[in-house]
Structure 1
Amino acid sequence: MNNFPKLHNATWPGLVGKGPDSEPVIPFDSLLKMTAAAEVNGVKFDGIDVGLLEPHFDLNNPDEAKKLADKVSKYNLNVGSLVAPIWAGSAMGTADQRKTFVEMVRKSCEFGQKLKDLGVRHYGVVRIDSAAGVHDWSKDPVGNTKQIAETFREACDVAAGFGEKLAAEGEICWGAMHSWKHMVELLEMVDRPNIGFQADMSHTFLYTMGYNAPEHRILPADADLKNRETIKAALKTVTDALRPWTIDFHVAQNDGSVFGSGSHDKTGRHCQATDPNGLLDIAHDAGYWLRDENGQLTKAFQHICWDGCMFPNAVMEKQQTWNDILAAMVKVREAHGWKG
């Protein structure tokens, strides 16, 4: 049986799109319990990826990492990638906002180092985005991209001091990251060895459709989205461009539409793993990211994670949801895994 990549669940879907203007936040402990309880033919999740966001986490609490380590150890889980809460600042904002952005990256890397020292984190990256909207970015695309790149370079230098890599998530709601071509341009401009791309199968599928960047769309507006060959060709174009940068990977499903809830801007809709309207063949299409252009495994990351943001709480609080997710993850590993 393949035991790599390790299979992780994400805990930030309990936070993203939730809150006072939406549904209540799902407690971290509830998400952890359901993750640990999921099982498919004797296979369980190996770990979790976590968003270091309040109210799940308080990065100003020096005991927070130890509390997390104790919780995951109790369930025989590990921690992988971390989401830095950089939205208190902005990579494209004022000097103070950019300083705050870098400081939140520093705090996240420090937190990750503590988890390593506590023996519960052996792989994974720190995830960032520009924390800037597409509309604001479009007022000065050249100048704003340069400023974002400069902030990212500062963040990379800080992360390097902790031995961390930063992964920029390609999502259509983040300025300078909202199309596949803009994403490549930004990564090349940052020019640091410890930055890469975090691919999410739902968000990156929206890249092919040109949401927020119609000039970079790959699928024509009248494309038949039921035609798998059409979708496969579009996915190949995106993955050929971004796979060399990819250091973190989210398995997900998408139906070709955008969605936002709470205060989160619209981005690629995360569908349930069993959604009949999903346009992706999850196990097959994950291979575009996990294998190179010659079909060989890249082994570029030791774990993969499921991302399912902005599901209703009624869905997320059902144990069967997590069993279905794990089943999809297992199929990905069976198709593209390896023995470590």
Structure 2
Amino acid sequence: MKQNNYPKLHNATWPGIVGKGDGSEPIISFDTLLEMTAAAEVDGIKFDGIDIGLFDPHVPADSSDDDLKRLADKVASYHLEIGSLVAPIWPPSGGAAMGSKEERARFVEQVRKSCHVGQRLRKLGIRPNGVVRIDSACTPDSWSQDPAGNTSLIAQTFREACDVAADYGEKLAAEGEICWGGMHSWKAMVDTLSAVNRPNIGFQADMSHTFLYLLGYNSPEDRILPADFDWNDRAALEAGLRQLTEALRPWTIDFHVAQNDGTVHGSGSHDKTGRHCLATDPNGKLNIATDAGHWLRDSNGALTKAFRHICWDGCMFPNAVMTQTKTWNDILAAMISVRALHGWQE
């Protein structure tokens, strides 16, 4: 039987930076992550590409066209493509989406730089699909001081960013992670996206981060599962996932495969966010292949085909884990299992 070849399978490079440095473990170089991604192989199947965070020292958002040509050539030499990009919209180079006029202008400028990178990589033929990821760059606590007013400001900033992105032919995806104000619960996310009212914005679902919307860590009133939830109740968990995905799936234009153990975690400069577990972690609460279907299929079970690649996001694993061949082979195996159940052929 012919294997599915879509969605394409990507690895992420930003886990080499997120939670690293600042007195924590050293940053893992872009070249090391590229080499390990290209080397992973399961039953003759390899990763198809990488998603990139536009951060120093990996790939700066203000990379020159010559820099990007070298990047494209390097990635192509490993028989990989580039997909989605993460815009570095946080202070000090960026600013909070609900901040001052100057802060919001810096936010939009970082989106513009990221969209320029995306457009150049498309023209170089190395980036056939993907989005530019954003968030609000502010905390749930600061947002909660004025929920209506701050949501309005975030939506205004996102609209301006969308208009800039449209000039470059790019779409923006708001990250479903509980540490971002105005995006910290599933209801807040729907409210924010609805207020933006632009055709080129959507939602980035992450099986680990977005899973925590069920538990309401930063918005107890929006939790779907009870505080004393019995993790052995698989039927109730599936019902919760159906409720969550029915609300957010229509917005979803980018997707991360991941595992979660139901707790929050922080390391380095990145705090109070979802715990990405290894694909084989016995404490993981998700059946990765099965539960991905809540996002990849509609309520009638039909494939949405809303995105042409999926990515593994494995932030905050120790360097000793991230430099093991077995880690990436296990991750690739999980990705393959998702595509086997919910992929298609072209």
Normalised to the residue count of structure 2, the TM-score between the two structures is 0.97
Letter of the aligned partner of 1:96 in structure 2? E
Aligned to 1:270: 276
Map 1:1-340 → 2, pairs under 5 A:
1-62=3-64, 63-87=66-90, 88-340=94-346
CA RMSD of aligned residues (A): 0.7
Q: What's the secondary structure of 2:271's corresponding residue?
A: coil
Letter of the aligned partner of 1:33 in structure 2? E
Letter of the aligned partner of 2:27 in structure 1? V
Letter of the aligned partner of 2:26 in structure 1? P
| 1:182 Cα offset (Å) | 0.4
| 1:225 Cα offset (Å) | 1.2
Instruction: Spell out structure 1 runs of 4+ moving beyond 6 A.
Output: none
Q: What's the secondary structure of 2:254's corresponding residue?
A: strand
Give the gaps of 5 or more residues in structure 1.
none
Letter of the aligned partner of 1:134 in structure 2? P
In structure 1, distance between residues paired with 2:131 and 2:22 = 30
| 1:61 Cα offset (Å) | 3.2
| 1:172 Cα offset (Å) | 0.4
- Residues 226, 279 of structure 1: 8 Å contact kept: no
- Residues 91, 130 of structure 1: 8 Å contact kept: yes
- Residues 83, 128 of structure 1: 8 Å contact kept: yes
Matched residue count = 340
| 1:64 Cα offset (Å) | 2.3
Letter of the aligned partner of 2:76 in structure 1? S
In structure 1, distance between residues paired with 2:87 and 2:232 = 37
Q: Deviations over 1:102-146 (max 9, x none)?
A: 001000000011101111001000000000011111111110010
Q: Deviations over 1:149-177 (max 9, x none)?
A: 00000000000011110000110000000
Q: Percent identity?
A: 70
Letter of the aligned partner of 1:268 in structure 2? G
Normalised to the residue count of structure 1, the TM-score between the two structures is 0.99
- Residues 54, 114 of structure 2: 8 Å contact kept: yes
Letter of the aligned partner of 1:48 in structure 2? I
In structure 2, distance between residues paired with 1:149 and 1:290 = 27
In structure 2, distance between residues paired with 1:232 and 1:61 = 44
Letter of the aligned partner of 2:17 in structure 1? L
